[in-house]
Amino acid sequence: MTNHNILIVHAHPADFACDAAATMALHAERGDRVTSLVVSHGERHHMQWLHDQKLMPTHKQDSDLSKLNLTNYREFKKRETERIAEVLGISELIMLGWIDGQIYFEQEKIEQVSEVIRKVKPDIFITRLPNVLSESTHDDHPETARIALKGLRHAQDRVMEFDGVESYRGVKQVFHSLAGGEEVNNNGMLLPGITPDVWIDTSSVIEKKVHAIDQLVSQGYHGQTARRIVEARDGRWGMIAGSAYAEPFIRPYGLIYDSLPLTPRALNDVYQPTHKDFVDTPVNEIPSATPEVAYKLLP
């Protein structure tokens, strides 16, 4: 088995736990090197913890709440991100500290991503879809994807004699990860709209994905919310893909094969009158993995 070197780029920490997270856990388990680049701390949206704190009577609030500022809130978010990396078994987490909500297509940002690519030297490169600009949730996502793809081109275009650095052209495959499913409503290649062409069966590592989302107390994603997200989203994707849970991907280019492909999974498929895919522990029965420190502004 060939081991891969994967670089995945996310706009915010929560995307790291939600998009392609189980797939990254699978690759980590099979011994692949997975580097996660999270470009911002996601400090300006989904501020559920702060919202809830303000609604609490003073005696129930975090005793450090009055010390809250941009710096220590970003650290709070950074610790969540580090815990997500640990749960998923990520080899290296890189955070660039771009300002959440102010991610624009800028040369400096492109060069930062290019530098990471030249350092990590991935053979698989993953980022969101760059062209879903109508996405209602956050336009940092397609902007980050555009910057990431331009960064990839920038890394390829370096010339030692001009720039003093080597180019990197070793990426063999780009995959786009998907958000909550607003882009995806079918698995029909002949139907209009955005259709994922690669599905990964994530059933064996679904507990890790739930536990990764459990870390996101700042956003209120822990507990039942994590289980709801995974059951509704990954469970639905699994229904489309034909497994208990799944994650979808899209490739920017068609693939070329030496002959018509048949995956090992397709070869081993056994006829069933009704397709039923279950796991031993349903997502809503996975115990919490939110540590006490996750609820505290200061460590």
Q: Which residues bind Zn ion (CB under 5 A)?
A: 11-12, 15
Nearer to Zn ion among residue 49 and residue 168 (C-beta): 49
* d(C-alpha 30, C-alpha 239), whole Å: 25
Min. distance of Cβ 50 from Zn ion in angstroms? 17
Given the complex with Zn ion, which of 15 and 201 has the nearer CB atom? 15
How, if at all, do strands 5-10 and 124-128 pair? parallel
Q: CB nearer to Zn ion: give 11 or 126.
A: 11
Residue nearest to Zn ion (CB): 12
Residue 91 beta carbon to Zn ion: minimum distance, rounded to whole angstroms: 22
Question: Reduced to 3 states, what is the DSSP secondary structure of residue 109?
Answer: helix
Query: Residue 33 contacts by C-beta under 8 Å, 6 or more apart in sequence?
Result: 3, 4, 5, 6, 91, 92
Q: Which is nearer to Zn ion, 38 or 87 (CB)?
A: 38
Phi, psi angles (nearest 5°) of residue 78: -65, -40
Locate 170 and state its tokens: 């070793």
Contacts of 198 (CB under 8 A, 6+ apart): 175, 248, 249, 250, 251
Q: Give whichever of 83 and 128 is closer to Zn ion, judged by the CB atom.
A: 128
